[in-house]
Amino acid sequence: MIVSASASARLAEILAGLGAVHVAAEQPFFYTSGWASPVYVDARVLMSDVAARTEAMNLAARELRELAQRQAFNVVVGVENSGIAFAAWLAERLGLPLSYLRKRPIGWGSRAQVEGRLPQAARALLVDDVTTDGLSKIAAATALRQTGARVEDVLVFLEFDLYPETGDRFAAQGLALHALTNWADLHAALAARGRLSAAQEEMLAAFDADPVRWSIEHGGVGA
């Protein structure tokens, strides 16, 4: 669920303006989850544009401050590697400690997967850049919970909000997914800028209508 419609629209404009969206020409993109997609979004381009990054993260902090207070977060945890920068910028603005979660444990013990010092009775906001079907975010939350941290909220910069059962998966694990923007707003921002050819619009329309079928037809996994 996007945290704010107005913020989502503005953040989509920022990403579109930075050229963060890559539309496939002949070969589809394949995500690590196995999905085939006509689009790849590199939200990390924000790292290299100070003005865009500052505006985007100020918006994020403004929209998330109430949630942070309500949930009494006492640490922000970024997912290696893609979520670390976003988590750091957000933690700084919210005045919270920062840690990051490794993809795999290094060493032994319940906290071998975490870099940085988790507070006692940690109440963590888990942060990453993009989610498709949510499986990797759920795996990350599960790993963080094994340290003893309370993890109920996952924040991503971009949620595709297209793939089936994503919301149900998060709910089944006692997790709420929060997104700063989504694919629908990003697609609209691209179209408004005239960045899409007629052929690209046709391809993206087919993807939007049925991403599972699009993936299967292009050699990717299905639901």
Say what the pTM is.
0.93
CA pair distance 178, 161, nearest whole angstrom: 11
Structure tokens at 16: 């579109």
CA dihedral 50, 59, 183, 136 (to 10 degrees): 90
Is residue 131 marked as binding?
A: yes
Strand, coil or helix: 123 = strand
Task: Please write down the HEC assignment for all residues of 132-201.
Answer: CCCHHHHHHHHHHHCCCCEEEEEEEEEECCCCCCHHHHHHHCCCEEEEEEEHHHHHHHHHHCCCCCHHHH
Is residue 19 marked as binding?
A: no
Is residue 135 marked as binding?
A: yes
Is residue 148 marked as binding?
A: no
Is residue 130 marked as binding?
A: yes
Q: Where are the domains of the chain?
A: 5-213
Is residue 175 marked as binding?
A: no
Is residue 210 marked as binding?
A: no
CB 111 within 8 A of CB 147: yes
The residues pairing with 105 across neighbouring beta strands, listed in sequence order, are: none
Strand, coil or helix: 219 = coil
Is residue 102 marked as binding?
A: yes
CA pair distance 3, 16, nearest whole angstrom: 19
Tens of pLDDT along 75-112? 999 999 999 999 999 999 999 999 999 988 776 666 68
Tens of pLDDT along 63-83? 999 999 999 999 999 999 999
Mean pLDDT in residue range 6-21: 97
Fold (CATH) for 5-213: Rossmann fold (3.40.50)
Is residue 134 marked as binding?
A: yes
Is residue 49 marked as binding?
A: no
Tens of pLDDT along 36-60? 999 999 999 999 999 999 999 999 9
